[in-house]
Amino acid sequence: MSFGARLAQTLAEQGPLCVGIDPHAYLLAEWGLPDSAAGAERFGRLVVEAANGRAGLVKPQVAFFERFGAAGYTALERVLADARDAGLLVIADAKRGDVGTSADGYGQAWLAPGSPLEADAVTLSPYLGVGSLSGVLALAEQSGKGVFVLAATSNPEAALLQRAVLADGPRAGATVARAVFDEVTEHNRRAEGAGLGSAGVVLGATVHLPAYGIDVHADPPHPLTPVLAPGFGYQGADVRNLASIYGRLAPAVIVSESRSVLSAGPSGLAEAIANRATQAGAARVH
Amino acid sequence: MSFGARLAQTLAEQGPLCVGIDPHAYLLAEWGLPDSAAGAERFGRLVVEAANGRAGLVKPQVAFFERFGAAGYTALERVLADARDAGLLVIADAKRGDVGTSADGYGQAWLAPGSPLEADAVTLSPYLGVGSLSGVLALAEQSGKGVFVLAATSNPEAALLQRAVLADGPRAGATVARAVFDEVTEHNRRAEGAGLGSAGVVLGATVHLPAYGIDVHADPPHPLTPVLAPGFGYQGADVRNLASIYGRLAPAVIVSESRSVLSAGPSGLAEAIANRATQAGAARVH
């Protein structure tokens, strides 16, 4: 079963909420946990336990584990295993990118069946060109896994680069973000999935997409391109505006929230996830 | 002592060669090592041993360790410790990039003194904007560490994005790669180092830099921006052309070679490093 098919099922049955697993130092302190690999592991497993049955997806932020080195990765392996055992779809938020065999190494780490860091999907950064990620996309396709390539992100410092305009090539005149979106969409078309593709993009909910040349009201691609959408909740976008922000892409949107749920602390977490899942589910477009 | 000052000393005393530590599956096989974390560790420690006294810098490619999960990171920690004990300058080739506290997490992992993955410098990817990396640059400055931000890379799939033209902002009309170069250069100017700055860029040796709006014959920035230069050796650029490729940036160039030395195998490695170091040293511009 392809990642796109599994994602479609998760969105239909459990709604679009994806709960971030972000063991910041300050959140660990608020949760009464040590700022260590053991603290990050405990934090991650508590989030998985609370998300189980209340949301369909989780997204561990790899940076907050990597800061503890190998011990942090041991913690992350356990969190990933818990999450996959619980039937949650796991998006490893690693933002990896490199060329050739190095990019393939990252693909193997996060997407190869049986890898200790196996997730269902990984986020990728396209600064070296979407083409540099082709080995990872091929591995994803072969293994029933997914990728989310950064396109238009929700942080303001990103706008100038992501809105820069291609000077040559078949997409001359398109913005960088638009070209990334189109290349990912083309990959899905070649892969011939139905419904949802297995390669997605990151499009921030706080971003004015038309300013990136992305017309969300145009005829949507077939298969539809999954969209990982940060920016809701704490960062300011209102999930009730999901349909107006994403237009005809809205049925493929994953609503990623971290601080808005994690700040509830371990005792309030399950209720916060249930509430946010209800809101995101109500806003979902079918 | 700043990273820029340490780099200047290394370049002057040991020349510009930086030996890649790339435990590809196929190289492990060629070296008679298992394709495992233990194999990668042995590979890395053999490279460090051979580089010690023959080159000034090493660059582990993190992807080839990450594919083994936490065990790969344990291997990498040992390789990093060996390399730093040997007095080699270590550039962790991780190409990390994220926003806010997540980016800071990556900075802590690779640059915080005492971190299990502590290196002397780390490579960073600017798809989210150079501004998104400001916390990492600040940590580097405070800790005597360095960064190398991807600007114009040596892989052909990267050209369209990296040559895209900024449409607005203070650098409107510049290419993405040029804007990254200028932002890093400005950071060094604000940090007020002499000689070499502590924030560098990646500019591939196979790239025609004028096509990116980077005029290497113009007055160079003060302090000079360090350049990590892949593309020599196996990838096709000839180190004897270092001065013509990099012009007035040439004194700050680090010649990064991996396969051209690693393919010599464990028995020929020390000699291959010594030979490439001699060639790179002869091509160096003072």
pLDDT of residue B60: 98
**Residue-wise pLDDT tens digits, A179-222:** 999 999 999 999 877 799 999 999 999 999 999 999 999 999 99
pLDDT of residue B286: 79
Whole-structure pTM value: 0.98
Instruction: Identify the structural domains of chain A with CATH numbers, from first to last.
Output: 3-15+93-280 (3.20.20.70)
Candidate list B59, B95, B145, B284, residue with the active-site label? B95
Structure tokens at A1: 């079963």
Give the DSSP letter of residue B67: T
pLDDT of residue A233: 82
Structure tokens at A84: 């996959």
**Among A186, A286, A200, A180, residue whose Cα is nearest residue A242:** A286
User: Which positions in chain B touch A108 (Cβ < 8 Å)?
Assistant: 67
pLDDT of residue A148: 98
SS3 A217: coil
CB–CB of B157 and A132 under 8 A?
A: yes
Provide the phi-psi class of A100: left if phi over 0, else alpha when psi is between -120 and 50, else beta.
left
Q: What is the ipTM score, two decimals?
A: 0.97
Please state the separation of Cα B21 from the chain's center in Å.
12
Provide the phi-psi class of A74: left if phi over 0, else alpha when psi is between -120 and 50, else beta.
alpha
The set of catalytic residues of A is 95
Give the H/E segment covering residue A60: strand A57-60
Please confirm whether the linkage preceding B223 is cis (ω < 30° from 0).
yes
pLDDT surpassing 80 at residue B171: yes
**Burial class (CB within 10 angstroms; exposed 0-12, middle 13-18, buried 19+) of A211:** middle
Q: Which residues pair with B229 in a beta bridge?
A: B255
**Nearest CA-CA distance, residue B107 and chain A, Å:** 8
**Nearest CA-CA distance, residue B223 and chain A, Å:** 25
Q: From the list B76, B103, B155, which residue is nearest A129 (CB)? A: B155
What mean pLDDT value characterizes chain B? 96
Centre a 10 Å sphere on the Cβ of residue B134 and count the other Cβ atoms it contains.
16
**Nearest CA-CA distance, residue A13 and chain B, Å:** 31
User: Which positions in chain A touch B99 (Cβ < 8 Å)?
Assistant: 153-155, 157-158
Structure tokens at B216: 């290497």
